[in-house]
Structure formats: structure tokens, C-alpha cells
Structure 1
Amino acid sequence: MEKREIETIVREVLAKLEKETATFPGLVEANGGKTHVTMPLALAVRLIEKIEAKAAEWNMRVVTAVSDAAGRPVAVHCMDGAYIGSFDVALNKTYTSIAFQMSTARLGCLSGPGESLYGIQFTNEGRIVIFGGGEVLERDGVIVGALGVSGGSAEQDTALAAYGKSVFAELE
């Protein structure tokens, strides 16, 4: 292999690594130290923008929240005309998805009358949501955050959150 070919390959590898670390920077400088980032703000905002575009196509006005792997909110957007109450619901959907590592729709199925998790929505100071619209977000099989969508019917929120989860896999 020629020196030029090797240099080209090295540049391509370095560019790929730079792109990956820009998306998921891992450790970043923080106020006086370093912290681990699982859900970068820029990525959360790009995801929310995709969801808002789809919501507008579907004539919906929603609140969309994205949290990190610890359930802490990273970004929340309220579309003009979204219900005021959807703010807390969207945030709680992210919390629920992280807390139980599953979609809120799935948890809803497991918490119906006679099911093993019946009544779970009354735990965690009322933050547990058992209807659709919350999804776990993963990268390479690792949970990096969660998505919560609120503003439509349970079916609409579920569909919009599922859309968000699918486009998240493609975002860099």
C-alpha cells in the first residue's frame, strides 16, 4: 500500500471517530470536573425536531421530552397549541420508560387489572404513566435515554413515540 492510501485511510478513520464522539461525547468537561453524557443536548433537539415535523404532518400539537439514561430531562419542546398538562405527562413518560426500561405502552399492558404490576401507577409519587407515548432510546443495545410524547390520544402518542424511536436509530 502506498503512503497516500494509508494517509487516506487514517483520515477516514479519524473523521469517523470524530463524528462518533461529537454525537456521543462520553466524558465532557463540566464545571470544575468531568461528567459522562449519555444523551447530548444537540441530539435530543434533533430528535424532537423530527417528531415535531411528523406531529405537524398528522395535525397534532404535542409536547416532546427527551431524558438521559438517569431519567433527567435534557430537552422539552412544547408545540404552539399543545395542552398545558402534556408537559408533565411527557416528562413522566420519559421517567417511566427509564425507571422500568420499557415503553409506557408495554408497562400499561403489564399493569392492567389482574396483571402482575396492577397498581404500579400509584407508586413513585404518581410519576408512573401506563399509557403509550414513552419509549426507551438505545445505542448498540445500551439505554442512553428516553422519549416522551404527549398531546394526542394514547394511540397517537404511541405511534409518534414509536416513530421517534425509529428515527433516533438513524440520527447521528
Structure 2
Amino acid sequence: MVFRTVLFTAVCVALTVFCGLGTALLMRRVSPWVRAVIAAVLVMVRAMPAMVAASVFRWLFDADFGVVNWVLSRLPGVDLAKRNWFTDPWQGFAVIVAVVVWGSLPFAAITLRAALAQVLPELEESAVLDGARPFQAFRHVTLPVIRPILLMVTTLTAIWDFGRCCTG
């Protein structure tokens, strides 16, 4: 029981922070109107009550009328008609992780986007001009600037995801 709780929390936190950082980095690169659309969608997701999100995901993965089964069954060689995702414990675990990450992603993405706005473009540009590859520039220039916010997001996400696991 304790192992599953720790595993659940670790997987949810890792996915939330990784996807949140990816979304924040994406928001830096897209045009302003796309950024506004992404931000609006993230706010709507954050405003969605947990029970509504759980019901939506239950419907998405429903054995009879689930959208996921229908979409995946359209792939060549894949037959997931009447597939119940909740009979296998690991598949049910994955669906529940997806629900939690879905609910936690907006906070992480918007907060990390704000942190990335504090990174001076001149610093990144000078690192690239000095021969750093994009990942090296991110690791040695961007990451040190956003590290305190990244730590805060990781800590708060761990607390909230652990609470979600233990309360229901």
C-alpha cells in the first residue's frame, strides 16, 4: 500500500513537472494568439471540478462507448473494442495518473511559463553564440534561473498529488 502511494505520487509529480515544463517551453515558442489559446485552455482545465474531470475520463475510457477505444481501434492491427481499462490494475493506474496529471498540469505550466519569462533572452543568445547546443543552453543558463520556481512547483505538486492519492 505504501509502495503504491509513493509510486503514484512519484509518477504523477514527474509527469506533471515534465509536461508542465514542456508546455511552458512550447508557449515561449508559439505566436501570441496560440499562446493565448493554450493559456485559456489551461485555465479552463484548472477550473474544471475534480468530479467532472473524473467523469469525463471515465467516459473516455469506457468499455462500450469510450473515445479512446474507438480512436485506438482505428489504427491498423489494433482491436480494442469492448476493452475495459479498469480490469487490469496497471492500466487503471495509468488512467488515474492521467486524470491527476490533467488536473495538475495547468498550475505547473502557467507557473513555469512565468518563471521562463524571467530568463533574459540575451543570456540564452550569448550561450548559443558561444557554441552551446540548445540543451546545453537550457541546462546551464535557463535551468539555474528557473530552479527555485521549479522546486516550488515540484514540492507543491508532490503535496497535492499525495493528498489526492490518500483522500480518494
TM-score bracket for this pair, using the shorter chain length: under 0.3
Structure with more of its chain in helix, by fraction: 2
Structure with more of its chain in strand, by fraction: 1
Q: What is the TM-score with the length of structure 2 in the denominator?
A: 0.26
Structure with the larger RCO, 1 or 2 (CA within 8 Å, 6+ apart) = 2
